[in-house]
Structure 1
Amino acid sequence: MATPAKKPHLVFFPFPAQGHVTPAFHLASLLHHLHGFDVTFVHTEHNRRRLLRARGADALAGSPGFRFVAVPDGLPASDEDAAQDMTALLLSLPTLVPHFKELVLSDELLASTASCCLLVSDVVPVQRAAKEIGLPCASFWTSSASFFMACHQFPQLAAKGLLPLKDAEQLRNGYLESTVVDWVPGMPKMRLKDFPSFIRTTDPDDAIIALTVSTVECHRTVPSAVIFHTFDELESQVLREMSAILPPIYTIGPLPLLLRQAAGAGDGPAAVDMSGSTSLSKENRACLDWLDGKRANSVVFVSFGSIVKLTNEQVVELAWGLANSGCGFLWVIRSDQQRPVLPPEFLAATEGRGCVTSWCPQPGVLRHAAVGAFLTHCGWNLMLESVSAGVPLLCWPGAADQQTNCWLACTGLRIGVEIGEDPRREDVELAIRQVMGGDDRGEELRTSATEWKEKAALATKPGGSSWVNLERLVNEVLTPLMHKP
């Protein structure tokens, strides 16, 4: 009699920041609940402590076949309620390698299923370590495909003399905005300004540039598959171009919509966990009650995600831009960012039409009928949530992928208005009036946002492109593990 095939065991090891942990958890939940794969989900000790503080022990309780483990990240202890410094975290990633190897090689459960294990990760040193010990690997790229393609151009930018910058004055004199880069495959009408913020350096030996180039090259050579958190139609041009430079790619998103479709499907539990149990901050759900009392499309939702910190001056300019727009607003100012003091005159001027909170259930807020626009830094998860909800964007990009995502929202998808990277109150007010107003521009943005909402819904229904790609991932990458000797 043939030996029964072992069930594949998936080891998820996301980059330890909120914007990476959440989609990784969503994908792990889909594969576990809908397809029955066992999962070991790896947090850093820092994020494990934040989860326990924010959500209690239930957040890490796991379930049969789905467990959580934690490893050190090698960084000094920091405020448990705050995100770690991103540059320090990026440069510390090699310190995760020995802890990852120890986990895989010494953990009793993983050792017993080693012949059919697969790593799903976006941490390049961990991907390379998996290859060294013979563990198959799939990469999960949690930002946009456009960001990947932009990063892929760094050597070409250097060859053309555009990277690094000649001097710091090029950051201030309009050079980035006026320099057109029209040769990026699948990404027409780009400016140097629209590339990831990493290019804004004068250092020929910049460590983050070197890390980015290494990351892109790793994705070409190490993983057996690359999973993108997007859907085919959203980034169709750039995805067509990338299929020629990467291993097989699978576009699976938006994941929250796939999870809602999967609830009740398959042989697993009737409800897939959509409670946001990987949120590293405690949520204030009272803002949903506040929104219930507001007219449809009358509120601007303002959130800069889990990492971005505005300066005091930026907070004041944003505050007066909101006040002068005359619109209602729901503004998230994280607890680790509460140092800015909102002007008393602003609080008096907006009494009754503004709500400030420390954190909130963002997908629920964006789906609320009262929300008419989303003022954001253009982090990819928040952009996908906005697309899924059909809410136009007010784009204030900060760093990393956000400039490229802003370009996509405003130029490619036509669902956003770019406020700028350091706007004055007049810029904020004008942009809000454009998006929230009843003129042709506002109507165009709302129509486009509604169209993309419908496309996202179609992509994630059974038979849609993302649903089909999830099945392809299972059948072409994961299921074959069961038949390994």
Structure 2
Amino acid sequence: MDRVVITGKKPHVICIPIPAQSHLLAMLKLAELLHHKGLQVTFVNTDYIHNKLLQNSVDLHSLDASSGFRFETISDGIPRTSEDYDDSKLLLEHIQITFLTPFLDLAAKLPTPPTCIISDGFMSFFTIEAAQKLGIPIMLYWTLSAGGFMTTYQIQSLIDKGLAPLKDESYLTNGYLDTIIDWIPGMDGIRLKDLNSAAWTTDPADRLLNFCIKGTQNSHNVTHNILHTFDALEPSIVNVLLSMYPHVYTVGPLQLHLNHIPAEEKQRKMLNFDGYNLRKEEPECFQWLQSKEPNSVIYVNFGSTTKILLQDLIEFAWGLANSNHYFLWIIRSDLVVGESSALPPGFEEHLEKKGFIASWCSQEKVLNHPAVGGFLTHCGWGSTIESLSAGVPMICWPYLWDQPINCRYICNEWEVGLELGKDVKREELSKLVQELMGEGGHKIRKKAMEWQQKARCATGPNGSSSMNVNKLIQEITMLSRNTYKSLG
């Protein structure tokens, strides 16, 4: 991997993600890459999130062991009744009202003054103001696809055109959301239901709706926006974004950049965030995978926040069992809404023969295991880009937020997936697993391998993402020199 030559004082970048699993890991990967390229990095977590990392990470000692890379924490201000307490809507509120002061206090206490902020786009409610008060530049990092960003950005246009919020809940089921829209630049054949699900509330004051609107509109209040995608994957949308903003950097897939870093360097610097999770991993699943033939296992994981009904769990269980294929299924303790994740009577017999269930795992390692031949996913962008990078085709069951547009592109544009109906039926799932894993899935598997190769090209020497990373480093360095001059 080419290293950008940095002369003079090193830029000191503060990286701050939104406190959520996929956003955290995407920001960690960018921070690790920036540090490898020669920048000083301070990575800011909330106390709550950092404690979870300390509890669940595989190597606690590497959290703050590298020269020029440090972890710091701020309070999120949320009163909690227990360590497992989680209220995402309350978090959205506190990001807007309580994060600014502790963040500024932290920045003032750092041994080396920060010269730039890289903020998750959805933390821009306070980080833009913080950058102004500190007198340093800020860049927004959107840990989304270009399509995921664009469909979230367009929520305001939906409101302006009278398409959102919904007049009543019947619009969710009466076919209204099947309406095709043709006015989003760079996106053809998109239906209303492919857009960010935050728009489909009946309440104009809905907290998530307004959070998405204000957050994405803040993209115009900075000059530099970073996206975790690559040019060949979403060329038409990327071209539109390039016309909307002064500087856009498509830098993904980040893990493929990190794979180029020599193992001895990672070991020396003790920076390798692949195993950093907010949940405890169960490595036993890899022992089970080792006993399976190549491409014989379908991996099932609906991410860190998806909630499903018990009836859906039962349908998934029998659909997997009846497919007669091996499956590795991640079932979180909080996966089922308001109930324990109780599997149906009689299912254990099938599990002993064909399946393995774990509560969490290192997903990228699983997707890159030779035994894994398919991925049943909720289509979160972290999962999607990891699957594309591993060359693994998908069965798509989108849940919320940007997942519908990711599903649309997976199945229709990139042709690497099959969509499962929202109303889960065991017969449909069983048929899709058999198609994906059997002879009928040959074309999709071939496409998945083609996209893996394109992702590798983007992150290889002279690849589009590699060049964008180098441009980003050069820009941070130039802006930081100006900051050092202003500091005297």
Q: TM-score, normalised by structure 1?
A: 0.92
**Given the alignment of the two structures, is residue 85 of structure 1 paired with residue 106 of structure 2, yes or no?**
no
Aligned to 2:65: 62
**Aligned residue runs from structure 1 range 341-380, under 5 A:** 341-380=342-381
After TM superposition, give the deviation of residue 20 of structure 1 in Å: 0.6
SS at match of 1:12: strand
Letter in 2 for 1:39: V
Q: What CA distance in whole angstroms lies between the structure 2 residues aligned with 1:155 and 1:336?
A: 33
After TM superposition, give the deviation of residue 198 of structure 1 in Å: 0.5
After TM superposition, give the deviation of residue 119 of structure 1 in Å: 3.8
**Aligned residue runs from structure 1 range 124-273, under 5 A:** 124-133=124-133, 134-177=135-178, 179-221=179-221, 223-263=222-262, 273=271
Aligned to 1:75: 78
State whether residues 298 and 326 of structure 2, in contact with CA within 8 Å, keep that contact through their aligned partners in structure 1: yes
After TM superposition, give the deviation of residue 152 of structure 1 in Å: 2.0
Aligned to 1:324: 322
Write out per-residue CA displacement over residues 377-423 of structure 1, whole angstroms, 9 at most, x where no aligned residue.
11111111100111111111111111111111112211111103331
After TM superposition, give the deviation of residue 460 of structure 1 in Å: 0.8
For residues 465 and 272 of structure 1, do their structure 2 counterparts lie closer, same or farther at Cα, with a shift above 3 Å needed?
Answer: farther
Aligned to 2:306: 308
For residues 323 and 14 of structure 1, do their structure 2 counterparts lie closer, same or farther at Cα, with a shift above 3 Å needed?
Answer: same
SS at match of 2:352: coil
Letter in 1 for 2:253: P
State whether residues 266 and 272 of structure 2, in contact with CA within 8 Å, keep that contact through their aligned partners in structure 1: no
Q: What CA distance in whole angstroms lies between the structure 2 residues aligned with 1:312 and 1:59?
A: 39
Letter in 1 for 2:103: F
Letter in 2 for 1:407: R
For structure 2, list consecutive stretches of 5 or more residues without a partner in the other structure. Answer: 1-6
Aligned to 1:23: 26
State whether residues 12 and 116 of structure 2, in contact with CA within 8 Å, keep that contact through their aligned partners in structure 1: yes
Letter in 2 for 1:54: N
More displaced 10-residue stretch of structure 1: 462-471 or 278-287 = 278-287
Q: What CA distance in whole angstroms lies between the structure 2 residues aligned with 1:193 and 1:117?
A: 38
Q: What CA distance in whole angstroms lies between the structure 2 residues aligned with 1:98 and 1:374?
A: 42
State whether residues 29 and 272 of structure 1, in contact with CA within 8 Å, keep that contact through their aligned partners in structure 2: no
Moved over 6 A (4+): 267-272
After TM superposition, give the deviation of residue 81 of structure 1 in Å: 5.3
**Aligned residue runs from structure 1 range 1-12, under 5 A:** 5-12=8-15
State whether residues 243 and 249 of structure 1, in contact with CA within 8 Å, keep that contact through their aligned partners in structure 2: yes
Letter in 2 for 1:102: D
Write out per-residue CA displacement over residues 288-319 of structure 1, whole angstroms, 9 at most, x where no aligned residue.
11111112211110001111122211111110
**Given the alignment of the two structures, is residue 399 of structure 1 paired with residue 400 of structure 2, yes or no?**
yes
SS at match of 2:43: strand
Match of 1:290 among 288, 291, 294: 288
For residues 390 and 281 of structure 1, do their structure 2 counterparts lie closer, same or farther at Cα, with a shift above 3 Å needed?
Answer: same
SS at match of 1:214: helix
More displaced 10-residue stretch of structure 1: 8-17 or 244-253 = 244-253
Aligned to 2:4: none
State whether residues 260 and 272 of structure 1, in contact with CA within 8 Å, keep that contact through their aligned partners in structure 2: no
State whether residues 259 and 272 of structure 1, in contact with CA within 8 Å, keep that contact through their aligned partners in structure 2: no
Q: What CA distance in whole angstroms lies between the structure 1 residues aligned with 2:482 and 2:456?
A: 34
Q: What CA distance in whole angstroms lies between the structure 1 residues aligned with 2:254 and 2:420?
A: 28
Q: What CA distance in whole angstroms lies between the structure 2 residues aligned with 1:312 and 1:9?
A: 48
After TM superposition, give the deviation of residue 102 of structure 1 in Å: 1.3
**Given the alignment of the two structures, is residue 45 of structure 1 paired with residue 47 of structure 2, yes or no?**
yes
For structure 1, list consecutive stretches of 5 or more residues without a partner in the other structure. Answer: none
State whether residues 377 and 402 of structure 1, in contact with CA within 8 Å, keep that contact through their aligned partners in structure 2: yes
State whether residues 25 and 278 of structure 1, in contact with CA within 8 Å, keep that contact through their aligned partners in structure 2: no
State whether residues 331 and 341 of structure 2, in contact with CA within 8 Å, keep that contact through their aligned partners in structure 1: no
State whether residues 306 and 335 of structure 2, in contact with CA within 8 Å, keep that contact through their aligned partners in structure 1: no
Aligned to 1:103: 106
After TM superposition, give the deviation of residue 367 of structure 1 in Å: 0.9
* Overall identity of the aligned pairs, in %: 40
Q: What CA distance in whole angstroms lies between the structure 2 residues aligned with 1:225 and 1:85?
A: 31
State whether residues 155 and 196 of structure 2, in contact with CA within 8 Å, keep that contact through their aligned partners in structure 1: no
Q: What CA distance in whole angstroms lies between the structure 2 residues aligned with 1:374 and 1:268?
A: 29
**Given the alignment of the two structures, is residue 419 of structure 1 paired with residue 417 of structure 2, yes or no?**
no
> For the aligned residues, what is the CA RMSD?
2.0
Counting matched residue pairs gives 471
Letter in 2 for 1:51: L
After TM superposition, give the deviation of residue 451 of structure 1 in Å: 0.5
Q: What CA distance in whole angstroms lies between the structure 2 residues aligned with 1:78 and 1:185?
A: 46
After TM superposition, give the deviation of residue 131 of structure 1 in Å: 3.5
SS at match of 2:305: coil
Q: What CA distance in whole angstroms lies between the structure 1 residues aligned with 2:110 and 2:424?
A: 54
Q: What CA distance in whole angstroms lies between the structure 2 residues aligned with 1:80 and 1:327?
A: 38
Q: What CA distance in whole angstroms lies between the structure 1 residues aligned with 2:166 and 2:403?
A: 19
Q: What CA distance in whole angstroms lies between the structure 1 residues aligned with 2:472 and 2:270?
A: 19
